[in-house]
Structure formats: C-alpha cells, structure tokens
Amino acid sequence: MGTDNSPVPDVEGAVLAAREMTATGDTIVLIGEQSAIQVELKKHDVSGLALEVIHSPQTVTMHDKPSQVHRTKPESSMAQGLDLVKQGKADAFVSLGNTGAVLALATLGSLRRIPGVKRPAITTFLKVKDRMIIFCDLGANADARPEWLVQFGIMGSIYAESVLGYQTPTVGVLSNGEEEGKGNELVRAAAALMSEESRLKFIGNIEPKELIAGKADVVVADGFVGNIALKSMEALGDYLFGLMKSKVLESSSLLVKIGAVLMRPALREVYREVDPFEIGGAPLLGVNGVVITGHGRSNAKAVKNAIGQAKRAAQSGVIAKLQATFAGGEDA
C-alpha cells in the first residue's frame, strides 16, 4: 500500500516480479487492503504465479508520525509485513511507503537492531556508469556520533560485498572538501576513526562531485546531511528537466520543437542513466532482517526491482554476516 499511486504500481510490480520468481520457487505476499488488491490483480494475468494476499485493516500514510505508528496503527500492513520477517515466515520485507515509519516499526517493534549495531541507517543506491554506490544515512539519525558513521561504513561494505558482489569496497565520508582535515567536527572525528578501522577500506573525504563520479563504493554521512545532499541533487535534476521542457514548450520556434523531437533518443538515454526507477529500493542497514525501502514515486518497474533487491539480499546471507561482524559489540 506504499506508493503514491497505491495499490496500482505496487500490485503490478509484484506481478512482474512473480513472473520472474515463481519459477525459482519464490512466493510474493501482498499485504494490504484485500479488496483493493484483488481489483488490481484482476487487471493482470496471474495464472500460475505464486502470489498470496494477506488482508490488513490499516494503512500507514506519509502523514503518519513514524514514532507513533506502532500505537496508532498496530495492525498496519507495514507492521504485519515486518512481523512475517520476524517470525521467519518471510525472507524479506519491501515497502515503498513512509520510510521513517518502516524504520520505527522495525527497530522499536519487531525486528529490532542487529545486536552490536548502535544505530540503523536508511540507504539509497546511486547508479554511476552501471555501478551502484551505497549512500547513507538518509535520515534515520539527524544527529549522529562518529562511531555510528563508522558502523554505517562497515555495514555498507558488507552489503556491497555480499549482495552487490564487490571485492574490498571502498568507503568515504561525505565532506565539504577532499583534503584531510576538512569537514565539521563529526566528519573529522569519524574520518579519524575510519582510517584506523581494519574492517574498512577507507579512502577519505568525498565531495558531492566525487560521490556522483563514483569515487567510493560506500559513502556515509549523518542523516541530516545525507538527506539534504540527496534532496539537493533531486531538486536540481527536477528543476533542470522541468526548465528544459518548458523552454521547448514555450518556444515559438518550430525548429526548436523539431530539434527536441529529433533529440529525444539522446535525452531518453540521459534519463535512463539517471532513472531512479531502475534501482527500485535499498536496504535499511542495521535492522535484524532484510528490509528494502523505495521511493513513494515508484512505478511498477521500481517496485519489481525493489523486490529483486530484496531477494538478492535474502539469498546472500548478508544479515548473518552482519550479525557475525557485530556480535559481542556494545549495544547502546
């Protein structure tokens, strides 16, 4: 029930995923308002697909306060989905809804943190020349401590290795300058800790242009800075695409309009390369189970890809590796 247009892309994405995954023995469980889901399912050919529906009487919206959802909506589809993972009845949970609510429900209510992990992180993938960069935290922790950033780097590395298949992933910290000593107090302290951390291949400060250029495989920031950086990029991208469109539409020149039509294949390629739907979803790192969250704007392709990411994460055994890595660490 999570996308802005739910349950339309949610159900279609699940059907698309089921067409690929039923053959490999996977079942996709749709949790939400049963009648609405059934209406959508009827639009597709679902014969032979391993799709189940679980009715949920409550839906978490973007307006729900994350910290209160476990009390105000105890029987939400989110809570039910996370419980399935906790009980071992599902291998992963995917949500395109309120990420803060998923995080709150997962950490406070059901899955909880992996023992030894001090704070979970919300991540995203950035696609750089067909390679994925893991970028976190996007807002789980608006204020962070240096050692949390170190753990984000370790968790990101393990995920990059286990799920994305990278060998010795490189890790950087987002900063306002690449030189050592740049950054605010938090970044300088975190960089000092990371450079001494044997479980990390730390390559230092990463500026936004280096983040986009893919200089590091994993880039960490506190949740406030990570969120602002990502939203600044999204905002400028939307602005530029919008401006370009409006300049063509407003143009009185027929040649400009013809030019825009002729250029369309190249523009489509540009868009394909920055297409956020290509990726679909990214993990909540540090919760004790595979949880993949994606953007509310997601279309069916994005939903399908988020489910694919969930499957790869579940199969990789990344949670067990994270548990082993942090076992014995302090918990606060």
Q: Is 192 in the site for a copy of itself (CB under 8 A)?
A: no
Nearest-approach distance from CB 218 to a copy of itself, in angstroms? 17
Among 71, 261, 330, 332, indicate the residue that binds a copy of itself (CB under 8 A): 261
Q: How far apart are CA 87 and CA 77, in angstroms?
A: 15
Residue ranges in 179-222 assigned as alpha helix (H)? 185-195, 208-213
Q: How far apart are CA 225 and CA 120, in angstroms?
A: 16
CB closer to a copy of itself out of 75 and 179: 179
Nearest-approach distance from CB 187 to a copy of itself, in angstroms? 7
Q: How far apart are CA 32 and CA 12, in angstroms?
A: 14
Among 25, 42, 167, 266, indicate the residue that binds a copy of itself (CB under 8 A): 266
CA dihedral angle for residue 267, residue 268, residue 271, residue 277, rounded to 10 degrees: 170
Query: What H or E segment, with its residue span, contains residue 240?
Result: helix 223-250
* Token pair 């919206």: residue: 61
Among 101, 125, 222, 292, indicate the residue that binds a copy of itself (CB under 8 A): 222
Among 23, 192, 256, 327, indicate the residue that binds a copy of itself (CB under 8 A): 256
**Residues 270-299: x where in contact with a copy of itself by CB under 8 A, - otherwise, as a string:** x--xx-------------------------
The β-bridge relationship of strands 282-285 and 290-293 is antiparallel
At 92, is the secondary structure helix, strand, or coil? strand
Among 23, 236, 320, 324, indicate the residue that binds a copy of itself (CB under 8 A): 236
Q: Is 62 in the site for a copy of itself (CB under 8 A)?
A: no
- Residue 322's closest CA among 143, 135, 178, 121? 121
Among 39, 142, 320, 324, indicate the residue that binds a copy of itself (CB under 8 A): 142
Phi, psi of 308 (to 5 degrees): -60, -40
Nearest-approach distance from CB 284 to a copy of itself, in angstroms? 17
Binding footprint of a copy of itself on the chain (CB under 8 A)? 139, 142-143, 174-176, 183-185, 187, 207-209, 211-212, 222-225, 227-240, 243-244, 247-248, 251, 253, 255-256, 258-267, 269-270, 273-274
